Amino acid sequence: MTDAPLTLDPGQTALLVMDFQPAILGRLDDSEALLSAAAEAIDIVRDEGGHVGYVRVAFDDSDYEAMPATNKTFAPIAAGRLMHHEDPETAVHERVAPQSGDIVVRKTRVGAFSTTDLDQQLRERGITTLILAGISTSGVVLSTVRDAADRDYELFVLSDASGDPDADVHAMLTEKVFPRQGHVITTEELPGLFGGSGAQGPG
């Protein structure tokens, strides 16, 4: 059970679908289950009249050139010219692809906020609550939970629409770490957050 409020305002709520890219999904054994859960969450939020945002990691030539050798995670990617933004493997997976009007940002670090204008786009739409789905739990989800909490967003993490190559790490984060700064729920619980209001409720 979650101690989440009974009702969320769809107009102030956004689902962030983070790093659901073929290049990253391929690292996980349960990618099909994650895609199904994310697709279901997207449908629920759209039906309720909420916002959907997408975060992907990819680089252009200037990003490669600007990458310092001290960055343990991304310097090897830059050196190998990997994850280029035009590579189909870095696009959002077609099963959960953005629609017209969705928020879409491209990042060059782990978290969703630090190298993007995501915060500005969310603020401009009046969004105060974020529902997070991402790969990996120990990467983009963890970094975004920390950053978003410091920016005073109300947070929900979809445990079944987030995944990590290490199942024990996923369990530790969703059971012991994330509940300190947000609500950890499943996709099945998501409709109840909106109180069954549907898209016809007051905006």
Model confidence pLDDT, tens digit, residues 176-199: 999 999 999 999 999 999 975 444
pLDDT for position 121: 98
In the beta sheet, which residues pair with residue 53? Answer: 16, 103
Cis peptide leading into residue 136 (ω within 30°): yes
Which domains occur in the chain, in start order?
A: 10-58+90-191 (3.40.50.850)
Q: What is the pTM of this model?
A: 0.92
Extract the runs of DSSP E, i.e. beta strands, from 76-191. Answer: 103-107, 129-134, 154-158, 183-185
CA distances from 64 to 1, 75, 79, 159, 184 (A): 44, 8, 7, 33, 35
CA-to-CA distance for 109 and 57, rounded, in angstroms?
7
In this prediction, the residues of the chain whose per-residue pLDDT falls under 70 are: 1-6, 196-203
For the chain, give the mean pLDDT. Answer: 93
Contact between 181 and 144 under an 8 Å Cβ cutoff? The reply is: no
pLDDT for position 4: 43
pLDDT for position 107: 98
Residue 163 half-sphere exposure, CB side, CA atoms within 13 Å? 21
pLDDT for position 30: 86
Closest CA to 37 of 15, 7, 55: 15
